Structure 1
Amino acid sequence: MERLSGLDASFLYMETRSQLMQIIGLIEVDPSTILGGYSFGRIRDQMRQLVRATPKFRRKLDNSLINIDHPAWVEDDHFDIDRHVHRVAVPAPGGIGEVTELCGHLAGQTLDRAKPLWELWVIEGLSNGRIMIMLRMHHAAVDGVGSAEVLSQLFSLSPEQPDLDADLLHQTAGGSSHAVLAATGAVHYLIRRPIAMARLLPETVAVPFAWLRRARSHEAMPAPFGAPRTRFNGPITPHRSIALTQLSLADIKRVKNRFGVKVNDVVLAITGGALREYLLAHNELPDRPLVAMVPVSVHGADDSGLMVEGTNKVSGMFTQLASDVADPVERIERAAELSRKAKAHHADIDANILRAWAQFAPGTTMSTLMKFYGDRKLALKHPPVFNVTVSNVAGADIPVYFCGARVTAVYPLGPIFHGLGLNITVFSADGELNVGILGCTDQIPDIDFLAHAFDEQLKTLLEVCGD
């Protein structure tokens, strides 16, 4: 039995029918490299073997009415691969539009909480002869870095199926015991939480004062609830739209070297430019710059015993996107400067403060409030916390294979929220920067515009590099 941390459990509590807390990977593969040829049965059988050495795929939620703390993961003793690995054909002609429409529909479906919280769809019928693998996992089970680790367990370095890790084969989440769950929950709730509260309060009280000092010297990242309103910042529905594009990592690094900035600065500048073009095309560009929330991994950070270890180890950094700047050169320079200030400010804040406070998340109350917040469209009643999530996850910079098929692209997709209806995540792997864009169809029906805008923004910056 492994108890969820407060941050892990928060993704369960925040979930509603419209606000789905899922992390998705769209994995495009070339089946021509599969030894013996492709068949869905072969993929399913190999996944059955891989799951034996991937404990996260076999654990499910367990809770009890007498448990006053967060739920726990336990081994699913009745795990059935056929309830998790599915097959579907994309409608003709099988182009990228048909693929993203199908994936958008699947992204709007809930995961069954009575089973391990993941499913894999094998999508056939693509016009280019490839196969798209759609892996959906609940955010309670993985964060961005965790999802990359899961992929590394599913991928291999050659078409041959590797030997399974003997140590992982014997790992288990453990069985269910409601008495133990309730007893340890009481200890956490009645003893550990008050101690953590006493340690957290002084540290937390100091944060806004330090923020104000930085703001006075123009060295602060943007404060929450200060972003301009856009179409992305209203209530969302269960309908999802997806756009994908693939950029050359060598081109990104060429721009990086030309301007003396980081890869993430180039990503932020391109994102700001793409959103600027989209909002300009709709006559909706705010005068003030858009604000992005950039997830920051805190894997390896010392938690000082303030919280349950958990799966999600992430904090958030706010930065402006320079979307108010028309000139691409000025925009990338401005984006790099804004990012530098945000990183310096974020580094001054305890990396675990968000995770520590999440331990106090009240399950039933939080779930009720989130449903009320969405039903009453309260996202329209206050300034946006921020405008868009922009995440950058690093993968392997070498060729990899999934069940014998060469992986040609991995597109990541993160969750969206009421008031925060656009997520842009990039995944660098094997010389490519794969961009996954997920939004609410009712807010951004023409999401493909953004994917094309990413291509155009990089093209513009490369033209500058050639001058």
Structure 2
Amino acid sequence: MRQLTSLDALFLAHEGDRTVGHVSAYVVLDPSDAPGGRLTIDALRDMMHSRMPLLPPFRWKLVGVPLGLDHGYWATDPEFDLGYHVRETAVPAPGGDDEVATLIGRLFSQPLDRQRPLWELYLVQGLADGRCALFSKVHHALVDGVSGAEILGAMFDLSPEGREVEAPTGSELEHPPSPVEMLLRTIAAAPKRARKQATALPRLVVNAGAIPGSGWIPGLRTAGRMARAIARPLTGDDRPLLEPPSGSAPQVPFSNRLSGHLRMAHVRLDLGEVKAVKTALGTTVNDVIMAIAAGGVRRWLLEHEALPDEPLLALVPVSVRTPEQYGTFGNRVGGMVVPLPTNLRESDERLAAARAAMMTAKQRHEAVPADALIDATRFLPPALFAQATKITLGIAGRPGVRPPMNLIVSNVPGPQVPLYCAGARIESLVPVSPVTHGVGMNITVMSYLGRIDAGIVVDRDQVPDPELVAAGMEEELEALKALAVAAGNGAG
């Protein structure tokens, strides 16, 4: 069997009555090239059946340890039923953006069944112009952004004809053992677990201030600064000490408890235009994306008379997966807390501030071991881990509690060649990512075939109109294009 890491277990513990722990993608398809000019549920199930050898996590079932004494394990589900996981639904034809957003919000708000492998795939019929779509849900305990993209790569093809698939060796896990066997396994692993915790503790203290959310813990950053000051002359480390942003973010309308009802908006941008802005104004694509997000969120805050004087704080996930860890699934992810310059009036000011903030955040991130977040999650004994996570989430979003961040902004590079699913051509890949208590907005973008698709996920009760954010992002790109033209290099 394969044991969950402490970071995998964190995403499981994150789930509650109003929070979900899965990541999703909304994929629009043109079925013209599919057999018969349409994609059927039978054809999709046949394709998925043929790809299962490339998708071992899709057969893994969660097995808990008695009394919660250790993190759980993944084991092959002996009763795996592909038909349960691959389903069909529809929007009223001809389905437009509003109908699709309503369906996705409803599907995304529903947790996955932990008695089965933690994924679902929906074929959505009824879209306008004869289109259909896929909507996938995979638990974050199984995948992060990089391994999620690898799963999409296993499902999709480079031509309508598809390909032959050979099963990789060593992809099957053991079937679930008995509770007694699990308990004996846990007892045997206790010394190794204690050694890992002892090894992680010094690194955790030294790097405590760089861990997202550490500002919530009184004295932790001060202890980290003192530990680094003591360790520097002993290790010869002369890198500058880069302080993270302040420990709490400004209160905004989406800093409250989640209602359990999510809503999604989608905006499509031209990747070539974003790159032209980047080149003309001397920034990076990530800088431009952050500035566009800042413009969109600022538009929403202004419309609702809720714009703070200080910048919002955004969590920007960062992959720490090494080349050797590709194809192993699970989570190898860290994060940077970055000021998002929603408080600045002009687009050029926002871009300059986003560039400076990202540069500082990257320097800070590079100065911290890649496993800092894993060390932080590994420190607590597994028996206390889930309870501590739930207590923390229980505090988040309460009145008077300022959040450590306001929103999540993520950029996932995607393929720039046409992809196909069971013969149907993929037109767009829209990421759909979760929110949590106190952090009620997530903007995740993915590039594909010369375009950038941004999925804006919000709590419906806190942000009933995420379309305003999408419109503001489009307006911000237009303003940045005008700046690029004025710079003399032409972005349009």
What TM-score do you get using the length of structure 2 for normalisation?
0.87
What residue identity is the alignment partner of 1:96? D
What residue identity is the alignment partner of 1:34? A
* Distance 1:464-1:310 versus aligned 2 partners, 3 A rule: closer
Partner residue, 2:354: 335
Report whether the alignment pairs 1:419 with 2:438.
yes
Report whether the alignment pairs 1:344 with 2:367.
no
Partner residue, 2:73: 72
Partner residue, 1:306: none
Given that residues 147 and 329 in structure 2 are in contact (C-alpha distance below 8 angstroms), is that contact kept between their aligned partners in structure 1? Answer: no
Structure 2 counterpart SS, 1:380 = coil
Cα distance, 1:285 vs. partner? 0.2
Distance 2:378 2:184 in 1: 17
Partner residue, 2:305: 283
Cα distance, 1:205 vs. partner? 2.4
* Distance 1:35-1:134 versus aligned 2 partners, 3 A rule: same
* Distance 1:198-1:365 versus aligned 2 partners, 3 A rule: closer
Given that residues 271 and 450 in structure 2 are in contact (C-alpha distance below 8 angstroms), is that contact kept between their aligned partners in structure 1? Answer: yes
Cα distance, 1:92 vs. partner? 4.0
Distance 1:375 1:263 in 2: 36
Partner residue, 2:118: 117
Larger CA deviation: 92-101 vs 433-442: 92-101
Distance 1:116 1:331 in 2: 43
Given that residues 8 and 310 in structure 1 are in contact (C-alpha distance below 8 angstroms), is that contact kept between their aligned partners in structure 2? Answer: no
Given that residues 3 and 310 in structure 1 are in contact (C-alpha distance below 8 angstroms), is that contact kept between their aligned partners in structure 2? Answer: no
Distance 1:74 1:264 in 2: 38
Given that residues 32 and 405 in structure 1 are in contact (C-alpha distance below 8 angstroms), is that contact kept between their aligned partners in structure 2? Answer: yes
Q: Matches of residues 246-395 of structure 1 in structure 2 within 5 Å?
A: 246-300=268-322, 311-361=330-380, 365-368=384-387, 379-395=398-414
Given that residues 16 and 370 in structure 1 are in contact (C-alpha distance below 8 angstroms), is that contact kept between their aligned partners in structure 2? Answer: no
Distance 2:388 2:204 in 1: 24
Distance 1:279 1:345 in 2: 29
Cα distance, 1:372 vs. partner? 5.7
Deviation digits for residues 228-251 of structure 1 (CA, Å, limit 9, x no counterpart): 111111100210000011111101
Structure 2 counterpart SS, 1:121 = strand
What residue identity is the alignment partner of 1:229? Q
Cα distance, 1:373 vs. partner? 5.9
Structure 1 counterpart SS, 2:349 = helix
Partner residue, 1:127: 128
Cα distance, 1:159 vs. partner? 0.5
Partner residue, 1:156: 157
Distance 2:288 2:348 in 1: 11
Distance 2:457 2:86 in 1: 23
Report whether the alignment pairs 1:444 with 2:463.
yes
Larger CA deviation: 64-73 vs 426-435: 64-73
| Structure 1: runs of 5 or more not aligned | 304-308
In the alignment of these two chains, the number of paired residues is: 457
Distance 1:117 1:253 in 2: 37
Distance 1:118 1:361 in 2: 28
Instruction: Please report the RMSD computed on the Cα atoms of aligned residues, expressed in angstroms.
Output: 2.3
Cα distance, 1:81 vs. partner? 1.2
Q: Matches of residues 205-224 of structure 1 in structure 2 within 5 Å?
A: 205-207=205-207, 208=221, 219-223=242-246
Report whether the alignment pairs 1:454 with 2:473.
yes
Partner residue, 1:396: 415
Cα distance, 1:448 vs. partner? 1.0
Larger CA deviation: 318-327 vs 200-209: 200-209
Partner residue, 2:428: 409
| Structure 2: runs of 5 or more not aligned | 208-220, 230-239, 487-492
Distance 1:111 1:332 in 2: 39
Given that residues 161 and 404 in structure 1 are in contact (C-alpha distance below 8 angstroms), is that contact kept between their aligned partners in structure 2? Answer: yes
Q: Matches of residues 163-178 of structure 1 in structure 2 within 5 Å?
A: 163-167=164-168, 171-178=171-178
Given that residues 13 and 364 in structure 1 are in contact (C-alpha distance below 8 angstroms), is that contact kept between their aligned partners in structure 2? Answer: no
Given that residues 35 and 160 in structure 1 are in contact (C-alpha distance below 8 angstroms), is that contact kept between their aligned partners in structure 2? Answer: no
Partner residue, 1:49: 50
Given that residues 13 and 390 in structure 2 are in contact (C-alpha distance below 8 angstroms), is that contact kept between their aligned partners in structure 1? Answer: no
* Distance 1:87-1:379 versus aligned 2 partners, 3 A rule: same
Report whether the alignment pairs 1:105 with 2:106.
yes
Structure 2 counterpart SS, 1:385 = coil
Report whether the alignment pairs 1:234 with 2:256.
yes
Cα distance, 1:355 vs. partner? 0.8
Larger CA deviation: 439-448 vs 83-92: 83-92
Partner residue, 2:86: 85
Given that residues 203 and 375 in structure 2 are in contact (C-alpha distance below 8 angstroms), is that contact kept between their aligned partners in structure 1? Answer: no
Distance 1:187 1:359 in 2: 18
What residue identity is the alignment partner of 1:83? Y
Cα distance, 1:325 vs. partner? 1.0
Cα distance, 1:220 vs. partner? 3.1
Identity of aligned residues (%): 35
* Distance 1:447-1:248 versus aligned 2 partners, 3 A rule: same
* Distance 1:343-1:377 versus aligned 2 partners, 3 A rule: closer
Given that residues 144 and 333 in structure 2 are in contact (C-alpha distance below 8 angstroms), is that contact kept between their aligned partners in structure 1? Answer: yes
Larger CA deviation: 29-38 vs 242-251: 29-38
What TM-score do you get using the length of structure 1 for normalisation?
0.92
Deviation digits for residues 346-366 of structure 1 (CA, Å, limit 9, x no counterpart): 111111021123124556655
